Chain A
Amino acid sequence: MSARYFGAAVTRVEDPRLLTGRGRYVDDMEFPGLLHAAFVRANVAHGRIRSVDTSDARGMPGVVAIYTMADFASIAQGPMPPMAPHPLLPTPITYHPLAVEEVRHVGEAIAIVLAADRARAEDAAAAVMLDIEELPAVADAVLAAKAGAPRADSRRPSNIAATMKAGFADCGAVFANADHVLTESFDIHRGGCHSMECRGVVASVDPHSDVLTLSTSSQSPYMVRRHLASYLNRDESQLHVMTPDVGGGFGPKANVYPEEFAVALAALKTGRPVKWIEDRQEHFVATTQQRGQVWTLDVAFDNDGRMRAIRGHCVHDNGAYAPYGLILPATALASFPGPYALEALDLTVDVVLTNLVPTSPVRGACRPNAAFVLERLADRIARHLGIDRDEVRRRSFVRAEQMPYLTGMKARDGSPISYDSGDYIAALDLVLDKVDAAGFEARRAAAAERGKLLGLGIASCVEDTGLGPFEGASVRVTPAGKVIVSTGASSQGQGHRTAFAQIAADALGVELNDVTVETADTAKFPLGISTIASRIAVTAGSSVELAAQKVRAKAIAFASHKLEVSEEDLELEGGAVRVKGVAGLNVSLSEIARTLAGNAGMGLPGGMDPDLAATAYFNSTALTFAYGANACEVEIDPETGDVRVVRYVVVHDCGKLINPLIVDGQIRGGVVHGIGNALFERMIHDEAGQPLTTTYADYFLPLASEMPSIEVHHIETPSPRNPIGVKGAGEGGTIPAAACVISAVEDALGADAPFIHLHPISPQQVMKWIEASGSQSQEVAGTP
C-alpha cells in the first residue's frame, strides 16, 4: 500500500491543544496537601559549608519543613549515581541531591524549603542563614587548566578531570609533506539552552502501595527512574515516572538533576506531595549549559586548497560536576572530521573543572564547536591561498562515490564510524544556487551604496544521528478499531505524536485521528532511554513501523483465515482488511481486535495469539549521518557595528522526511539557536565565578524581530540503516549556523579585517574590527 501520511506535511495533532492553553505541564498538576519547594542555593562559587541555620526560617508563616542532606540520612545518602560512567572518570563527579560540606558553583542547592506556596517558601529560603567559608574559585577553564590554579573541587588533585584523545593515521607524516601549515586558536563561549518551560518536578507517594510517582519536565524519564531507584534502593516497580507536556528540552533536560532527587526525598520524608518549579533565575544558575571550549589547531593543506590533516588541543569547560560523564567532550571529538576527507587527525581534549554550572549537551552537543573550528579553518585556507571558500570545500569533502565512508574515527562503543550516504558537494552546490551566490557581488555593491557592508557566509556539517541502542514502541488496536501507539521516547514539543501516528496510520490503513500516541510514562511502556542526539525518528520511529507491520501481518492472517482468502490478496484500507478489488468483502480491525480480546470458553480463531497488538525494539546498531550546507547574508552597519542576518538558506539531508512541516520547524529553530550563539548569547561571570547575566535584560536570547526568514531545502537520501530510511533532524540547523554567520561577518568586513576566531561577537567588537581594517565609512557633514 502506498504511503498516505508518511512524507506529507500534516499539521501537528498536538497543536490545537497546546496553542489554546490546554497543554498540561508539571506546574498544572495539583494535589491535595501539595507542598511547594524552594531551594536555598550557594551564593559563592566555591566554599566550605560551616553551618546552615534554619531556626528563623522554620518559624515563618506557611513553612512546613526545611531539610538539608543530613535530614534525609535515614532514606538515602551519598552522591548521585553517574548517568554515563566512563573509565577515564574512575571516581564519578556527581552532585549530592543537596550539597554536603562543599559548594562548587553559585546556585548549587544546599537546602530545600517546603511551604504552603512558593512565595512563602522563597521568603523562608531567604531567611535561612548560610555560613560558608569562601574558598578560591576558578571561573575560566584555560586558567583552571594551568598549574597552581585554585582547585574547583577540593577533593581532587587537579582541575583536569580527564584527558581524551581521538584521531587516526600518522599526522606527522602528512604535516611533513603538506604544502602549507597554519595554526589558529578558537574561543567558543558558554551559553545556556533556555527552553521556554524551565525544569520542574512534582513527587508524591501513594500511602497504600508506597509507589513513588514523579512527573518531571525531562527528556529522560526512564533515566530518572533507573538512577533514583538505584539511589533509593527501590525496585523500579515502586517508582513511577512520567513526563507530561514539556515545553522544550534542547539537551539539558536529558540530565538527571539534584532537584529531582531532593523533591523525591522530601515527598518520602513528609509523606506529602511536593512540587518544585524552576524559575528563570534558577535556570541561569542550576540548569546545565554548554559550548565553552578553547581550541588550538594546526591544519595541513595543499596548494589546491585540499585540507589534509588537523592536529591540536582543546580546553573543555566542564563546570563543577560531570553528571553526564564525558559525553560532551567525547561528542566534540566524535564530530571530527565532519564532511572533510582528512588523511590524518590527532586531537586531545582536556576536560577541565571550573566553579561554574556543569556543561552537558545543548542542541548540537559540541558538534557546533567542531563545525565552527572546521569551517573557520576552511575559510582560513581559502583566505591564505586566495581561492574561493567553496573551492576549499569542494576539494576537501568526502565525495558521494566514497559512501559508505570510513572516517577513521571510532563511535562511543568503539566501532568504526562510517558515513552511510549523502552527497556533501551537491548540497553545497545547491545552497550556493539557492542563495544566488553568483549574484552576490551585485548585492554587496548595492548595499555599499546604502552605506552597509554585506557579507556572504557558507558552512557545512555532518551530524551523527539515531544513536543506539533503541527506543521501543508498542502498537495496539482497541476493540473500537482505534490504534494506540505507546513508546518510552519522551517528547518536548517535537511533534512525536504526529510523526508516530503518520507511520502507524499508513501501516494499518486507518486515519490519522484514529491513532493515539502515548509517550514516556514508565507505567505504560517498560523501557526507554532518552530523547537526545537526534535519535527518536530513527529509533522510536522505526520501532513504531516494525510494531505496526507486525499488527498488520496479524490482521491479515486473521482475515485470511476468516475469509478463506490468500494473504497476498488482502490489503488494509479504511480501518479494515479487505480483499483487493472485491467491494464489501472485508473484516474490520475492530472485529479482529474484539475477537482477539477473547470470550470466556471460546477459542481464538486459527490458533492465533491473543490481542491485536505488537511491541518492537528497533536496535539501531549503526549511526545514520545527516548533513547540511548553509549559506547566509549579513548586513553590517559600519557606524554602530550592528550585524543583522538578512538571509539564511539551509540545504539539509536527513533521509526520508516523515513530515516536512516538522522537519522545517526543527531546522529553523535550530538555526535560530545557532544565530543566538554567533551574535547574541553570552553567559558572563566575574573572576570569582559570580554570574552577571541572569535575566533576559542582560542575557540576549534572540527574538523573532532579529531573525531573518529561513529558507529550507531538502535532499532526501534514504538511510540504508533503518526500515523507514530516516536520519535525525533535531540539531542539523544549529550545528553549522554559528560558523555560517561568522563566515559572513568576516566576508562583510573585507580582506583586511582580522580573522574571526570566536563567538558570540558583539557590535562593539565589530566596531573595533572595522576600525582596524579601515572599512569605516567617513562621516559626512551636512544633510544627506
Chain B
Amino acid sequence: MKPPPFQYHRPQTREELGALLANLDNVKILAGGQSLMPMLNLRVVAPDHLIDINRIPELAGIRETTDGIEIGAMTRQADILASPIIRDRLPLLARALEHVGHIQTRSRGTIGGSCCHLDPSAEQPAICAALDAEFVAIGPKGRRVIAAADWFQGMLQSALDDLEFLEAVRFKPWAKGHGYGFAEYARRHGDFAISGAAALLEADGGGSITRAALLVFGVEEAPRRLSEAEAALVGQNIGEIALAPILDAARALHPMEDVQVTADYRRHLAGTLLGRAVREACVSREQRQ
C-alpha cells in the first residue's frame, strides 16, 4: 500500500497552479487528500504528476460577499463547521458536515476536494446541489462559473476540464429563518452514507410554503433534486404537508446496488430519510421564527 511513482509539485499561487496544469499530462491535484491518498496507496490511480495545492493561501477562506457567501476550495471542513457565518446563514451545510468523517479527517478534508472527487455518497456536493451553489473554476481563459445543475457529470465526474481547477464555491443563502433538515444513514458514524437526504423550506407568515428544495444522495450516481416534488410543495401549508408523494418521488429513483446494499433497500432508505429531512426542516423553521 505505497503509491506508484509520481512527480510532486507544490505551487504557491493560482498562477503557478494554472501553468502546471497547462504543461503537464496525467495530473492529480492533491487537496486534503482524504480520498486521493488512499486511492494512491491502493494504486487505483497512478498519476505521473501530483500537484499539492495546500500551500496556495488564496484558495482557502470563507468570505461574505454582496450577494452571498464564497468558500475557498481549500477551506478545511473543520473550519467551515466552526464558522459562525456558516452556522447562521448556511445552517444546512453545517448540519451535514457533522456527518463528514471524523474530527481528524475534517481537519484535513476540504470542500473543494470533495466537490471535485464527487463520491455519490458525499455530503458536501449534495448540499451544494440542494443550495444551487455555483462553482468557480479557473482555466487558461480565466474564470468560469458553473451552476450546480451542470457540475455533476456522472460518477466521480465534475464539469472541470483537465486545464481547470476549482477556486471556490459560491452560495446564495436562503431567507433568514428558513427551515432545513438533513438525514443520512451509514453503518458507522463518519462512513460514506448508504443514502441521505436534505430539505430546505421557506414559508410566508401564514405558513404557506413559498420555496422548497428536496434532495437525496448516495442513491444514484450523483445527488438528485426532486424538482416535481419541490414544485408540489409550494403553496402547501407547512403544518399539513402531504408527505406521501414526496416519499414516492424518492422511491421512484433508480438506486445503485453493491455487494452489501440492494437497490431496494437504498430506495426504501431514500424515502425514509427524505421524510425525516422534511420533518426536521418543518421543525427547524418553526424554531427559527
Question: Chain A residues near B43 (CB, 8 Å)?
Answer: 122, 126
In Å, the complex CA distance between A280 and B2 comes to 11
Interface string of A94-128 (1 = CB under 8 A from B): 00000000000000000000000011001100100
Select from chain A the residue with minimum beta-carbon distance to B185: A640
A280 touches B1 (CB 8 A): yes
* Interfacial chain A residues near B188, Cβ < 8 Å: 680, 700, 702-703, 705-706
Which stretch, B19-27, B108-116, B260-268, touches the partner chain A?
A: B260-268
Question: Within 8 Å of chain A (Cβ to Cβ): is B242?
Answer: yes
Query: Smallest CB-CB separation from A638: which chain B residue?
Result: B272
**Contacting residue for A697 out of B191, B247, B264, CB 8 A:** B191
Max chain A Cβ within 10 angstroms of own Cβ: one of B4, B192, B247, B272: B272
Given A640-B269, A693-B259: A783 in contact with B239 (beta carbons within 8 A): yes
Whether B141 is near chain A, meaning CB under 8 Å from some CB there, is no
Q: Does the CB pair B2–A783 fall under 8 Å?
A: no
Residue interface mask B266-285, A partner, CB < 8 A = 1: 00110011010001001100
Which residues of A683-698 are within 8 A (CB) of B? 684, 692-693, 695, 697-698
Determine whether B240 belongs to the interface, using a CB cutoff of 8 Å to chain A. Answer: yes
Question: Is there contact, CB below 8 Å, between B269 and A122?
Answer: no
Q: Are B241 and A703 in contact (CB under 8 A)?
A: no
Whether the Cβ atoms of A705 and B190 lie closer than 8 Å is: yes
Q: Which residues of A are found within 8 Å of B38, using beta-carbon distances?
A: 695
Would A782 and B3 count as touching, CB distance under 8 A?
A: no
A698 nearest CB across to chain B (Å): 7
Given known pairs A705-B190, A779-B243, the reply for A281 and B265 (CB within 8 Å) is no
Q: In the complex the two chains form, is B3's CB within 8 Å of A119's CB?
A: yes
Q: Which residues of B contact A698 (CB under 8 A)?
A: 259-260
Kindly state whether residue A784 has any CB partner on chain B within 8 Å.
Answer: yes
CB contacts (< 8 Å) of B1 on chain A: these are 122, 279-281
With A119-B2, A279-B1, A767-B265 in contact, is A782–B185 under 8 Å at CB?
no
Q: How far is the CB of A693 from chain B (nearest CB, A)?
A: 7
CB neighbours (8 Å) of B261 from chain A are 764
For residues 579 through 605 of chain A, which have their beta carbon under 8 Å from a beta carbon of chain B?
Answer: none
A162 to chain B, nearest CB (A): 32
Q: Give the residue name and chain of the B residue nearest to A118 (CB).
A: B2
Per the bound structure, the CA–CA distance linking A281 and B42 in Å amounts to 8
Let me know if B239 and A640 touch, CB within 8 A: no
For A692, the chain B residues whose CB sits under 8 A away are 259
Residue contact B2 to A122, C-beta cutoff 8 Å: yes
Determine the chain A residues whose CB is within 8 A of the CB of B268 once the complex forms. Answer: 767
Bound: A281/B38 CA distance, A: 11
Once the chains bind, are A782 and B5 in contact (CB under 8 Å)?
no
Does the CB pair A782–B243 fall under 8 Å? yes
B189 at the interface (CB under 8 A from A): yes
Interface membership of A390, Cβ < 8 A: no
Specify the chain B residue showing the minimal Cβ separation from A771: B268
Q: Check B191 against A762 for contact (C-beta < 8 Å).
A: no
Q: How far is the CA of A762 from the CA of B189 in the complex (A)?
A: 16
One of A703, A764, A779, A783 near B190 (C-beta < 8 A) = A703
A191 smallest CB distance to B (angstroms): 14
Beta-carbon contact of B244 and A781 below 8 Å: yes
Report which residue of B242, B259, B264 has the largest number of chain A beta carbons within 10 angstroms of its beta carbon.
B259
- Tell yes or no: A271 within 8 A of B by CB: no
Flag whether B187 is at the interface (Cβ < 8 A). yes
A703: chain B residues at CB < 8 Å are 188-190
Task: Give per-residue flags for B1-44: 1 if the beta carbon is below 8 A from chain A beta carbons, else 0.
Answer: 11111000000000000000000000000000000001000110
Given A640-B185, A684-B260, A779 and B2 touching (CB < 8 A)? no
Q: Output the nearest chain B residue to A684 by Cβ-Cβ distance.
A: B259
Q: Which B residues touch A680, using CB under 8 A?
A: 187-188
| Residue B137 is within 8 A (CB to CB) of chain A in the complex | no
Q: Does A763 contact B (CB under 8 A)?
A: yes
Determine if A642 is an interface residue (Cβ-Cβ < 8 Å).
yes
B259 contacts A695, C-beta separation under 8 Å:
no
A280 to B264, CA, bound (A): 32
CB distance from B98 to the nearest CB of A (A): 12
Q: Is B86 an interface residue (CB 8 A)?
A: no
Which A residues from 658 to 693 make CB contacts under 8 A with B? 680, 682, 684, 692-693
Q: Which residues of B contact A429 (CB under 8 A)?
A: none
Indicate if the CB atoms of A779 and B192 lie closer than 8 Å: no
Encoded as 1 (CB less than 8 Å from any A CB) or 0, chain B from 42 to 59 comes to: 110000000000000000
- A682 to B258 CA separation, bound complex (whole angstroms): 14
Taking a contact as CB atoms under 8 Å apart, the answer to whether A784 and B272 are in contact is no
Beta-carbon contact of A781 and B191 below 8 Å: no
Q: Which residue of A lies closest to B261 (CB)?
A: A764
Tell me if A640 and B272 are in contact (CB < 8 A).
yes
A609 sits at the interface (CB 8 A): no
The contact of B272 among A280, A639, A781, by CB within 8 Å, is A639
- Scoring B1, B261, B275 by chain A CB atoms within 10 A of each residue's CB, the highest score goes to B1
Task: State whether the Cβ of B238 lies closer than 8 Å to any Cβ in chain A.
Answer: yes
Whether the Cβ atoms of B260 and A706 lie closer than 8 Å is no
- Say yes or no: B192 contacts A784, CB within 8 Å: no
Partner of B42, one of A695, A700, A783: A695
Q: A641–B185 Cα gap in the complex (Å)?
A: 10
Complex: A779 Cα to B272 Cα, angstroms: 9
Chain A 114-144 interface residues, beta-carbon cutoff 8 Å to B? 118-119, 122-123, 126
- CB pair B241–A783 under 8 Å, yes or no, is yes
Complex contact B265–A697 (CB within 8 A): no
Chain B CB within 10 A, most for which of A703, A706, A762, A782: A782
Residues of A within 8 A of B247 (CB): 779
Measured between beta carbons, the chain A residues less than 8 angstroms from B192 are 697
Q: How far is the CA of A527 from the CA of B239 in the complex (A)?
A: 76
How far apart are the CA atoms of A119 and B260 in the complex, in Å? 32
With CB as the reference atom, state the residue of chain B lying closest to A685: B259
Determine whether the beta carbon of B272 is less than 8 Å from that of A705. Answer: no
Closest to B246 in A: A781
Question: Taking the nearest CB of chain B, how far is it from the CB of A593, in angstroms?
Answer: 49
Per-position binary interface string of chain A over residues 747-774, scored 1 when its CB falls under 8 Å from any chain B CB and 0 otherwise: 0000000000000001110010000000
In the assembled complex, the Cα of A122 lies from the Cα of B4 at a distance in Å of: 8
Partner of A762, one of B239, B241, B260, B272: B260
Nearest residue in A to B262 (C-beta to C-beta)?
A764
Closest to A117 in B: B2
Q: Choose among A118, A279, A695, A779 the residue that contacts B275 (Cβ–Cβ < 8 A).
A: A779
Contact B187 A781 (CB under 8 A): no
Q: Which residues of B contact A684 (CB under 8 A)?
A: 259-260
Task: Mark A277-321 against chain B: 1 for CB-CB distance below 8 A, else 0.
Answer: 001110000000000000000000000000000000000000000
Contact B282 A783 (CB under 8 A): yes
Give bound CA distance, A697 to B261, whole Å.
13
Known contacts A126-B43, A693-B259, A762-B260; is A782 also within 8 Å of B240 by CB? yes
B251: shortest Cβ distance to chain A, in Å?
11
In whole angstroms, how far apart are the Cα atoms of A780 and B282 in the complex? Answer: 14
Q: How far is the CA of A281 from the CA of B190 in the complex (A)?
A: 21
Q: Determine the chain B residues whose CB is within 8 A of the CB of A642 once the complex forms.
A: 185
The CA of A706 and the CA of B187, in the complex, are separated in Å by 9
> In the assembled complex, which residues on chain B have CB atoms less than 8 Å from the CB atom of A702?
188
Provide the residues of chain B in CB contact with A780, threshold 8 Å: 243
Rounded to whole Å, the gap between the CB of B279 and the closest CB of chain A is 6
With A697-B192, A700-B187, A706-B189 known as contacts, the answer to whether A783 contacts B4 (CB < 8 A) is no
Which chain A residues lie closer than 8 Å to B241 at the CB level?
A: 781-783
A783 with B244, Cβ < 8 A, contacts A700-B187, A764-B261 known: no
What is the CB-to-nearest-CB distance from A401 to chain B, in angstroms, rounded to a whole number?
Answer: 46
What residues make up the interface of B, taking CB atoms closer than 8 Å to A? Answer: 1-5, 38, 42-43, 185, 187-192, 238-244, 247, 259-262, 264-265, 268-269, 272-273, 275, 279, 282-283
Q: Pick 15 A–B contacts, CB within 8 A, sort by A.
A: A119-B2, A123-B4, A641-B265, A682-B260, A684-B259, A695-B42, A700-B187, A702-B188, A703-B188, A705-B190, A763-B187, A764-B261, A767-B265, A767-B268, A782-B239
A281-B1, A763-B265, A783-B238 given; 5 more Cβ-contact pairs under 8 Å: A640-B185, A705-B190, A763-B187, A779-B247, A784-B279
Q: Please name the 4 residue pairs, one residue from A and one from B, whose CB atoms are nearest each other, closest first.
A: A119-B2, A764-B265, A705-B189, A279-B1
